[in-house]
Chains A and B, each alone.
Chain A
Amino acid sequence: MRLSGGLKGMMSAALLGAVCWAAPATAEPLRITIEDGVIEPLPFAAPTFIDEGGAGDIARAMTDVIAADLQGTGLFAQIPAGAFISQVTSFDAPVSYADWKAINAQALIVGAVSNSGGRINVKFNLHDVFSDTTLGDGLQFGGGEGDWRRIAHKVADQIYSRITGEGPYFDSRVVFVSESGPKDARQKQLAIMDYDGANVQYLTDASAIVLAPRFSAAGDRILYTSFETGFPRIKLMDLATLQSRAIADLQGNMTFAPRFSPDGDTVVFSLENGGNTDLYAMSLSSGQTTQLTNAPSIETAPSFSPDGSQIAFESDRSGNQQIYIMPVSGGEPVRVSSGEGRYSTPVWSPRGDLVAFTKQNGGRFHIGVMRTDGSEERLLTASYLDEGPTWAPNGRVIMFTRESPGAAGSAQLYSVDISGRALRQVPTVGAASDPAWSPLLP
């Protein structure tokens, strides 16, 4: 049964806890700034974490996950163990910085893992080799052994944050649409996985088309569109119970493109009536529905600003798709996209500074970002069909759908950072589309 492995892991998550000491943000000179253009990945050494009892396999596996997290950002380059001059034999032994300088390891991660009766404890130090000192204080995490991947992500998050100054994001999940079957009869089902593709679990069966799941800001619920009734309708799934219910079932109209407000009570969505699509908002607590736009054009793909005061959306009121921003209660929208081509699927960064979007121009699709006033547009990708960006919890990485052309074409998930670096495919079992990134896990 495909769920059993994850079950054990998640059950023991109850025991996961972190013991932290102050980690001062003194970060010079070991520092990477993501906004920089092309940078040389920072070389780091991550000797296999020391087994301090019963944790040999887990220690190795955790070291690999930590290194993969860091390498996957494109900001770090792992130095192979074969190049090491000195070995780390004890967590507390003094570090021979000269040996690590000699192989140009700018960061050295020293860690140790113990496993006592199924409860693992991990501790690590991040060494700034060329400063002959540690970067931040040592830190340890404890949890059930089924949580070893999550704990490894938390260690990697700490290292990433200390060196980049950015928020963490590795310990997060992604809900997406798992696809199978031929192009003209594609089967789709909702699935959820770790951000790196591990621990996949299916949330629905494939009996009806499902589209574009979206997380609540608390990560406890998802909105999505389902054809279960034969017509596209918004559904709300409680991830604690996996129960779904239709919401905003209004006059039998099509409803789609839902998204939560930051406080989780309001759902903004598209409703089609007589061929015309406008934006509506519905309060989940009161059930009250408000029409936000009233235009003969298509208004869809709404997304709240993180402070909940504004909504970005796409409209073809100008003749083709462009991005607009309006106050949360409706009102006159301001167009923010201004370049050539069509702009769609705006998604506000969780940091509030940028809007990610899909751009269609000259027969190509792009994922891009712009400031919320439309300035400083930056295209991050180009392909036959890229669409549907979603932000990592730290607002510095974007995941999206890339579909290849032709009869055998299929969709895959990709990620890229906001400077356009580190474009990579996210591993999934089979085809996948419509990713939505969770908030950082607790």
Chain B
Amino acid sequence: MNRLSLMILMVGALALAACNNPQRGFGAGGAGGQGGAGAGGITSGALGDPNDPNSVAYFNQRIGDTVRFAVDQSTLTPEAQATLTAQAQWLNSHPSATAIIEGHADEQGTREYNLALGARRASAVQQYLIAQGVAGTRLKTVSYGKERPLAVCSEESCFAQNRRSVTVIGAGAGV
């Protein structure tokens, strides 16, 4: 089949696709702190009361679901380690909870590299939590590269917030 015919078929298929859009799963929720939307499929769970130490809201807000990284680094700062130690304690006391660790980069880099850099960051967090006794099977990682900034200015104040990992507790976890 020549390319011309392919293009013709393609347009026909396009028209069909527009009429009969195949079911598409929701992508992962993106920027963290949202709890609920896990990757691949839809589940739901209450975030709960941040004053309740068993709640996802407590994990997100009181412990902190986010740690930050220096420019082009995936090394965990002492501050990040303290947060992750507390995350590990929570995860160890909530053994049914699972988490997806999102790695993110600021916008000062190329798209592919930032995906790989975000993966380094997510993996650094995962390895730290595993070292703190959390089973690796409970922790997935994903990188969003620079695709989901938390702060939208193009200054270091925003870049610093965007170079981050977010530990997203799976829906249904907690109380």
Contact = CB atoms under 8 A, between A and B. Distances in A.
Interface of A: 1-4, 6-7, 10-11, 13-14, 16, 182-186, 188, 201, 203, 205, 207-209, 211-212, 218-220, 227-232, 239-243, 254, 256-257, 270, 272, 274-277, 298, 300-301, 314, 316, 320-321, 344-345, 358, 360, 384-385, 387-388, 403, 405-407, 409, 434, 441-442
Contacts of A6: 11, 14
Interface stretch (B50-58, B59-67, B80-88, B149-157): B149-157
A434 B113 contact: no
B78 interface: no
Contacts of B151: 184
Contact of B153 (A182, A220, A320, A406): A406
A229 B39 contact: yes
A251 to B, nearest CB: 12
Closest CB pairs A-B (n = 8): A230-B39, A275-B123, A405-B154, A230-B28, A208-B27, A277-B116, A10-B11, A407-B152
B119 interface: yes
Nearest to A316: B113
Nearest to B103: A275
A164 to B, nearest CB: 25
Contacts of A227: 27-28, 144
Given A442-B3, A442-B4, A241 B10 contact: yes
Nearest to B149: A184
Given A230-B39, A242-B14, A298-B113, A205 B21 contact: yes
Contact of B8 (A14, A230, A360): A14
A254 B14 contact: no
Nearest to B27: A208
Interface in B32-78: 38-40, 72, 74
Given A184-B148, A230-B40, 7 more contacts: A3-B11, A207-B26, A209-B30, A209-B147, A220-B3, A228-B27, A275-B74
A407 B21 CA distance: 33
Contacts of A316: 113
A220 B154 contact: no
Contacts of B28: 227, 230-231
Interface string B86-108: 00000000000000100000011
Q: Of B1, B120, B140, which is in contact with the most chain A CB atoms at under 10 Å from its CB?
A: B120
Contacts of B1: 240
Given A205-B24, A232-B142, A239-B10, A186 B147 contact: yes
B115 interface: yes
B25 A229 contact: yes
B31 A212 contact: no
Interface string B127-148: 1000000000000111110011
B117 interface: yes
Nearest to B10: A239
B143 A254 contact: yes
Nearest to B6: A240
B116 A298 contact: yes
Nearest to A439: B3
Contacts of A276: 120, 123
Nearest to B17: A242
B160 interface: no
A253 B111 CA distance: 18
